Structure 1
Amino acid sequence: MNENTIIADLERRLATAGEALHEKAQIEAALRQSEELRRIAIARLRESEAGNRLLIERGAQAVWEADANGVVVADSPSWRAYTGQTIEEWLGYGWLDAIHPDDRTYAKRQWQAAIAVQGFVDAEFRLRAPNGGWRWTNVRATPVLKGEGQVEKWVGLNFDIEARKRAEVVLRENEERQAFLLKLSDTLRPLGSAAQARTEACRLLGEQLSSSRAYYVEYEPTLGYGIVADDYLVPGLSSLAGRYPFDMFRSTYERISDGRTWVIRDIAADRELPEQERAFYAAQGVLAWIDVPLAKDGVLEAALCVVQTEPRDWTALDIVLVEETAERMWTAIQRARAETILQESEKRFAQFAASSSDGLWIREAATLAMEYVNPAIEAIYGVSTDAIVGDVQRWAGLIVPEDRPGALACLERARQGEAVVHEFRIQRPSDGTFRWIRSTDFPLHDAQGRIQRIGGIAHDQTEAKLATEHTAVLLAELQHRVRNIMAQISAITAHTGEQAKSVSDYASLMAGRLLALARVQALLTRAANAGASITSIVQDELSAQARHRGQYVLDGPDVILPPKAAEVLTLAVHELTTNALKYGALSASSGRVTVRWTTFERRGSSWLSLDWTEEGAPERVPPGPSAPRRSGFGTELIEGRIPYELKGRGELTIKPGGAHCHLEFPLLNKNSILETGAPQRATVFGGSLDMTGEADLSGLRVLVIEDDYYLATDAARGLRGAGAEVLGPSSTGEDVRAELTQQRPDAAVIDINLGDGPSFALAETLKDQGIPFVFITGYNQEIIPAKFNDIERLEKPVQLRQIVDAVAKLVDRTG
């Protein structure tokens, strides 16, 4: 080391000693003057070395010297006091023994390197403390050179840096802890389930502390057990996950119930733990732990446990880290649970909203913009959900102009905190129809009680409104039905009166025919619009009239007849049975009636074929040649009504042995006036009437449109009696249009209901063609459209003279 280096070193030392600064300045000035002064300065510096050492020793724990080779040859009381070494242990290289074994090689290498290059030493390592243990020291040493630049000796100092090192450790550990907690928070934040939060927290904590296990325990005190879950463990250990009875860890539960962390460093040294639990834990390899209780609303629910399979001296930082991890994990668990509850609630609401036939909606209160609608809104309003979400004008534009201000006013009332129920009409874009909407609007408050949104329920009550209006229609149908039945009874009464031989005969015939009507009505009302069994119809009639069961044979499949067919066939079978009882096979004990029927296909439709055959009937006395030929009620029914109303064929012949009847007709689904299902077709009441004195309709063609056989034929009879030519009668719209293509009538009589409910299509056709007409109906005036207000309506039951008079007015034949 040259002289300049020595001077620089001495200058550094003088800088640390405040009392020597003035002297240093004088020496520097002298050095600038001459070399001689420089030698003087060096001498004076050496002379003042003892004084400088005293100054330095005030901050150092040990001051020592070594010879030029780095060997300690002089005693250092401060070193011995600092390390506890004796003088013998200190001298030579014995000082190395006072250095921590892990640092000894490093210290020796630093010392030898400095000696080799005559350089400075500035190293840190651990030294033995007098009372045991180790303390961090900072050793600084420098060579002292002779004037010729040779090393005279080494001077060294030891500064105690234990406090700084501990502070650095704490700082480093805090930095590591904060980095870990940041990593933990980042890991837990996106997790959506409590189980995931527990698993990840246990894993990260176990890895951070290098613990044997880390797991989450959930307590169920009312059920008497605890559940170990999310068991992080090092390789080679078996999982402790599972359910454990409370008796195995009851004192543990009680120990942490006060909310304080429980730390066990060595289970064998803890005498407070019951022997039973100590044995249980030892058997599981749980010898040291940190248990942090997790409570909600003051109730212990769970614990985070870090476990070691051997005793462990947990540090304060370990405990703090576990507690802070537990806090963050518990927060994440509570958040995940809340989110799960919210998601389940939202899922339930979504299921409810998706299944609801009513429309559900939510608006933003400030702007009234639609934020949410359920799928039912599409069906109710006839628009896509996208078309109604957003600006309130989108929704308001669907409301009819007359109702729009009121609907918006109700929204405003809801925005002010009032629940409102109101109705309005919309026009549905999907089909152009008008619908009645019943809306319930109500405010939705936030946690502070402020109205942030408006909710609502939209119900399409069009059908309810129509049902209310339809009640009046049903009442009209009831009146119509009663009038129709009365009209049929009136027609039967008239026909029976024409054929009865006496009052008693009249009464008997009427009673039988009314009973037949009652039977078919009973059959048809068992189920609405369901028809009746042909077997029941035939057997009920024959069993009521035959003398014994052997008098009749039934053979055929049990076919369910449509209502109209059941009505007509019941009356036909009644007439055949009544005739057989008076004159035919049932009038003789040996007589027999055989009824066979079957079904077949014709022109794409199912038909019924029925044969009534009598055997053993008494011989009849043939009528004289002068006797008038009369068509009986039964004959007219079989050969006239069945072809007309059922579009089939009927034939009745009287042969030796009794009557033979053959019927066949399609099984068309036509309604009967006696059924109780859909509203019944209108019918016209009437009968035979002497038209003497009535208007003369000669030369006029009158079209009769009526679906009931009796009423149609009675009307035709009355018109013919007045001299008119009758076109038809026609029972269907198809028949009417076919008739109109053949010839043009001068007038028409039309029934509003031809079996499928009220219809005005034919009336419009007649009006378009300029053909005058009159309505014959059981409906009230209210059901007739306004454009037909000038058309005369004859209300059933109607007298035939009324029909004639109405037609005469149409063609100005009133005389």
Structure 2
Amino acid sequence: MFRAKRPGADDVRGLDRLASTEERIAPRLAEIFTHAAVGLCELDREGRFLLVNDALCSLLGRTAEDLLGLGVADVTHPTDLAPSLRLLESIARDGQIRSIDKRYRRPDGQILWARSTVARLERDGDGDGDGNAASFLVVIVDLTDQRRAEHALVEGEQRARTLIDGIARSTWQTDGAGHVVLDSPSWRAHTGQSFDAWVSDGWLDAVHPDDREYAQRHWREALAARRMVNGEFRIRRATGGYDWMNVRAAPMVDDNGEVLRWMAMNIDISARKSAEAALRASELRLQTLVSGVPQLVWRAIAGGEWTWASPQWERATGQSPRKSLGFGWLEAVHPDDREVTRERWSQASARGALEVEHRLRNASTGNYCWFQTRASPVRLDDGTIVEWLGTSTDVDDLRALQERQRILVAELQHRTRNLLGLVSVISDKALLSSADLSDYRRRFKDRLGALGRVQGLLSRADENDRVMFDRLLREELAAHGIVDSRQVTLHGPGDLALRPQCIQPLAMALHELSTNAVKHGASSHRGGRLEVRWQIETIDHAPWLHIEWRESGVDLADRDGPSSSSGQGRELIERALPYQLEARTRYTLTRDGVICSILVPGSHALAD
């Protein structure tokens, strides 16, 4: 197998020793050849297999019998066949050992990368001494795993480069100390810096002045800690202005943990920063709007679990935003209204809305006020409810107005019925006491006028304008032409407010007394005098309104049956007032004039 020097013709013993050595080595070499871990084969001068080992058969997926009937052309990839044949020719010519990385074909169609190292063999008597090979020894090492790893590495690098190019505005690197030493065309294209301006720490000049101190400190802290850099600051554009960048850098270390260099990239986040600024501005506008509305605004998830409450909630209820979260807001709801509130929340999802009226505690007074609470769901495209947006509106005044309206309507109906009844009574009484139709008309009109004045006072009382007795008396006297002069004396407190229900009976009584005074009493005589006094007296430990009407200077002896001695006016005083107001009355006719005393319980006459 191996070429050796031929012994001389005269050295027979040396030839015998050589033959004996070859006989001993040959079996051993054959054993090594057969069981070697790499593929081994011998090719003839035409490239046909003469000898193959087990490893080569395994690599090529063929048996030794199959290969010994084939040549290099039968197992080589077509693209690599010509270079393989030229390699054999070169080795046959000059005897130099050469290698080639090539692809082999297996019967199952698989392609195998291998490195083939070829040496020329010459046997005794086979070589012609002119460099022509008797055969070739080929050592074949499988490169499939190595090629696959190299391909994966290249592919990974390509993917990484594609990814970086897709997200990074620029890439750059520094030495282990963090100083820029290599050029970065992408950095300089973005910033417009020259190479001399950007090397070492010159890159800081491209950072916005307001961000420069932060960027430098962030970079130095990362260098000292040998940790990844992840910062956000503004970097100047070559065209002017600044872009927000997310600057990321990672250290590359050797086997001893020493930092060799820093690899960095700049990711443009200007769009994100603009969106964040717009979002903050939008949220600020919304918060300003929410803070300005009178309603209490809140957000919740399913079942009424609050996630946020507006400042108005805390001002109205005194409950902090933290305490209102979850179901804490229910503590501000009146205990009697909590159950109905929970029930409405349990029905909200099915109904698609929440609406409930309940009472909330007022922080300033400690009382409970009525609120109308409404909420609408926020849904995804598929209809799923993600949260609820709600408001609570103060309707306490509205409910009070509605209740007052209800009372007023009932009172109006009651008064209307009473007024119609009173008009009917006035008409009947006037008819009975009238001499003729003209007299009836005068009497009826006179009493209706008094009734109208009373209704005017009552309407003002309904508008929260309290009616004082002093005012009621003076208006009635003025309506009859009785002025406050030397003939008339009025004496009593000016701030004595009357209850609305007693105004009409008292006004009608004063009307009858004034009418009598004008027709038959003090105001009908030149020397007549009228004195009216009123005051609060305590009777049986309770307040009473005492009104005294006293006329003097009237000679009733010459009168033929004055009308005030009987009839509607006196009947109203002596019978109607006790019935309507539980009053105590006394009506006396003296030779000097009329004396009338009216005592009305404070519970019926005096406003609170």
Measured against the shorter chain, the TM-score band is 0.3 to 0.5
Could you tell me the TM-score, scaled by structure 2's length? 0.44
